[in-house]
Amino acid sequence: MLTDPVVDIVFLIGIPALVAIFILEGMLIGKVLPTKVIFGLMVVVWASSMDFVIYLVLISAFSASLGQAFLYYLVGSKDYTINDIPYFRFNEDRVERIDQLIVDYGFGIVFVTNCVPFVRGFGTIPASQGDLTAGRFITISFASSVVYLSIVAVFFLIFQSFLPM
C-alpha cells in the first residue's frame, strides 16, 4: 500500500500531467498518446471513491475541451482542412464524408465523433468552419467528453474488479 507522502507526490505530478495530456489530445497533437490508457490507469490507481473518479472525469473532459476550443479558434481563423494536421493524412473521400455528415446531421455529429475512440476530436475542424458558435461548440465538446470518459472510467473500474488484491 502506498504511503500518504508518496500518494501526495504522485497526485501533485499526476493531475497536471493529466491536464496537459488531455489538452494536447483535444488539440489533436496528443492523438499519438495513449490517453485512454493513462486516464484509465489513473482511475484504477486513484479510485478511492466515486467522487474522485468524477473529479478525474471532469478535469480530463475540461482539459480536452480546452484543447479542442484552442484548435477550434485556430482553425476557424484560418482556412485549414483536416489534412493540414501534422502526422494525420486522410483521403479526400473521408474528409468530404465528415463534411457531408455535418451537413446532413448538423453539429450533433461533433458530439458523436467525440464519443468514438480514434476519431475523437476530428469533428472540430469542419465544425470550426461551419455555423456552430464557439460557446455551443465548447458545450458540445465538454458534454461529449464527459460521456466518453465516463464510459472509459466504468470500463477500467470493471477491469479493476477482476484484478487480484
What single string gives the DSSP state of each residue in 2-48? Answer: --HHHHHHHHHHHHHHHHHHHHHHHTTGGGGS-HHHHHHHHHHHH-S
Number of domains in the chain: 1
| pLDDT higher than threshold 50 for residue 163 | yes
For 142, which DSSP code? Answer: H
CA 70/CA 78 separation, integer angstroms: 13
Look at residue 1 in the predicted model and tell me its pLDDT: 44
Domain that holds residue 21: 4-161
Task: Tell me the average pLDDT of the chain.
Answer: 80
Q: What's the pLDDT band for 10 if we cut at 50, 70, 90? A: low
- Contacts of residue 68, Cβ cutoff 8 Å, sequence gap at least 6: 26, 27, 121, 124, 137, 138, 141
CA 13/CA 7 separation, integer angstroms: 10
Region 87-92: mean pLDDT is 62
pLDDT of 114-137, one tens digit each? 888 877 877 787 777 777 788 888
pLDDT of 34-65, one tens digit each? 888 888 888 887 777 888 899 999 999 999 99
| pLDDT higher than threshold 70 for residue 68 | yes
Tell me which residue of 100, 102, 103, 123 sits closest to 113, measured CA to CA: 123
Region 8-13: mean pLDDT is 67
